[in-house]
Amino acid sequence: MYPDVVRDERFGKITAEDIEYFRSVLAPGSVLTAAEEDLSGYNIDSMRKYHGQSQLVLKPRSTEEVSLIMKRCHARKLAVVPQGGNTGLVGGSVPVFDEIVISMSLMSKVRSFDEVSGILVADAGCVLESTDQYLAERGYIFPLDLGAKGSCHIGGNVATNAGGLRLLRYGSLHGTVLGIEAVMPDGTIFDSLGKLRKDNTGYDIKQLFIGSEGTLGVITGISIFCPRRSKVVNVAFFGLESYEKVQQAFVKAKGELSEILSAFEFMDTASQEQVARFSELRRPLDEAHNFYVLVETSGSNRVHDEEKLQTYLEGLMESDIIADGVLAQDETQVKNLWTWREGIPESLGKSGGVYKYDVSIPLDELYQLVEDTRVRIQEFGHDIGTEGSNVVNVVGYGHLGDGNLHLNVAVKQYDKQIEYILEPWVYEWIEKRHGSVSAEHGLGFAKKPYLKYSKDQRVIELMRQVKKVYDPNGIMNPYKYI
Ligand code: FAD
Ligand code: MLT
Ligand code: ZN
């Protein structure tokens, strides 16, 4: 599974004494060993592409317990992988060899919520969807939403600096996360769980943990600024014939929907056919189109918001930007329309395997990558979507409002030949456009070799130095990231 890496023999191997120690400091049921349990759920990632061989999973219930774990790991040079909901898409959340998995799933309590400021302080292991539900009951919203919300943890979201479906509206976690509590590799507790929106007292060290993917420490708690939940949410779904028109619709959305615009997602026809293959739902539009856009507005005045969205859609029709469109009439329809966007990753996964590219590219060239990829695959003699071919589909979709394309190549089975056709070609393509090889999923194991296509050598060197300062023994999520 990991042909080009060898176990770093500087790391200790788990002994019976280590297990005895962990059992003595953790609550019953918190120490899972391969000898007694099936640990495959912790060793295999959500794409079933990466398989680790961890023999030990620890499930701490408090920051103090994480600290005791890390003190032992530091003293014994035992490598660890912090794990949230294990929904990551770059092979970062599972071990490569025998690293200990520190699962955060039992640290799942809301610590406090201030209904005046909207500031939530919660354990890292809170599941995103239940945290958002907690906030919904109080009239607030978690400022991040993504398809894996039912499983991913808010700590995992911060560790990956997840972007998701409404970054356009609520901004990046670098802006909304106000504080972080983490356990450092030597077991000391980094307590920066501030609740201040403004704090200009020196280097903002907590920012380094946002997007650090378990390489600097174990995030145990976060404090985050949550906006009021919008009373009125509207969704429109429309078909367009060219990528040029998708961009025109976006410019108009920014101008005309402005403060109520909360998502602008685009999907190509291949991605919609993929969802349709596995969905019982009726397709939102009768005719097929080359592209589709889902626009969401969130506001507080129904009449005002609906009028704005209606006028926007009529304007698009009149200027021939869209060919057809539909407006959700109730909450069920809102949910169903979102399925045609959120359901894409799952439907692709049903093919067998998926080569996933999550990239930032200047908007005008964003879709060109998908077209060039199809041409390249065919030039190398592979059909797309025919019965005998391993390549099932090549699709493009993503967060257009953020300049973030998801290019996915679905295959019946992972195949090195296909991988060599795609990599590093995709990354070279991105480098030429000064884009990013990872817009939101992170580096993990998958993107580590390709960091150089997006970051200058000097910057990479600084990243290495930071890693050494925080984690001198290199025990935090090794073989990945940098
Ligand atoms: P995991 O997968 O468990 O871990 C991810 C990384 O974070 C690993 O490196 C791990 O070591 C580290 N980590 C986890 N918890 C901690 C912790 N407490 N302390 C330190 N390090 C930690 N991502 C997006 O950005 N936008 C999307 O729209 C999006 N949609 C998705 C849709 C689907 C269907 C799926 C399967 C995934 C999607 N993802 C998306 C990717 C993934 O869900 C996110 O990266 C998510 O933030 C990972 O959270 P997790 O709790 O599952 O973390
Ligand atoms: C998405 O936007 O759906 C996610 O980032 C997940 C994915 O692309 O697989
Ligand atoms: Zn995404």
What would the pLDDT profile of 129-183 be if each residue is shown by its tens digit?
999 999 999 999 999 999 999 999 999 999 999 999 999 999 999 999 999 999 9
Where residue 384 sits, what CATH number does that domain have? 3.30.70.2740
Is there a single domain that holds both residue 216 and residue 122?
Answer: yes
| Domain limit, last residue, from 441, 458, 474 | 441
Is there a single domain that holds both residue 377 and residue 306?
Answer: no
| Rg (the chain; Cα; Å) | 23
pLDDT at residue 4, as a whole number: 84
Is there a single domain that holds both residue 186 and residue 164?
Answer: yes
Is there a single domain that holds both residue 319 and residue 355?
Answer: no
Is there a single domain that holds both residue 180 and residue 246?
Answer: no
Domain assignment present for 184: yes
**Averaged pLDDT of the chain:** 97
Where residue 199 sits, what CATH number does that domain have? 3.30.465.10
Is there a single domain that holds both residue 330 and residue 371?
Answer: no
Distance CA 14, CA 37 (A): 16
| Domain limit, last residue, from 344, 360, 382 | 344
- The rounded Å distance from CA 34 to ligand 3 centre is 34
Residue 159: what residue type? A
The answer to whether residue 35 scores a pLDDT higher than 70 is: yes
Helix (H, G, I), strand (E, B) or coil at 409: strand
Ramachandran class of 161: left when φ > 0, alpha when ψ lies in -120 to 50, beta otherwise: left
Domain assignment present for 146: yes
Q: Using a 6 Å CB cutoff, which residues line ligand 1?
A: 46, 81-89, 92-93, 104, 124, 146-148, 152-153, 155-157, 159-160, 162-165, 213-214, 218-219, 345-346, 440-441, 444, 477
CB 397 within 8 A of CB 410: no
Asked, as a colleague might, if the bond just before 424 is cis with ω within 30 of 0, I would say yes
Is there a single domain that holds both residue 412 and residue 316?
Answer: no
| Domain limit, last residue, from 316, 344, 372 | 344
Q: Which of 49, 50, 65, 87 to mutate to test the pocket of ligand 1 (most atoms within 8 A of CB)?
A: 87
Beta strands in 212-342 (DSSP E): 218-225, 232-240, 261-268, 291-299, 324-327
Domain assignment present for 458: no
pLDDT at residue 3, as a whole number: 74
Which residues constitute the domain of residue 250? 232-344
Distance CA 289, CA 337 (A): 16
Is there a single domain that holds both residue 198 and residue 275?
Answer: no
Number of compact structural domains in the chain? 3
Domain assignment present for 114: yes
pLDDT in tens, 425-471: 999 999 999 999 999 999 999 999 999 999 999 999 999 999 999 99
Helix (H, G, I), strand (E, B) or coil at 426: helix
Is there a single domain that holds both residue 308 and residue 267?
Answer: yes
Distance CA 187, CA 440 (A): 29
Domain assignment present for 176: yes
The answer to whether residue 394 scores a pLDDT higher than 70 is: yes
The answer to whether residue 1 scores a pLDDT higher than 80 is: no
Is there a single domain that holds both residue 360 and residue 316?
Answer: no
Where residue 321 sits, what CATH number does that domain have? 3.30.70.2190
Domain assignment present for 239: yes
Token digits of residue 380: 């190398």
Supply the residue whose CA is at minimum distance from atom 17 of ligand 1: 219
Domain assignment present for 323: yes
pLDDT at residue 2, as a whole number: 79
Distance CA 291, CA 268 (A): 4
Domain assignment present for 15: no
pLDDT in tens, 43-59: 999 999 999 999 999 99
pLDDT in tens, 365-380: 999 999 999 999 999 9
Query: Is the pTM above the cut of 0.85?
Result: yes
Is there a single domain that holds both residue 297 and residue 199?
Answer: no
Is there a single domain that holds both residue 206 and residue 114?
Answer: yes
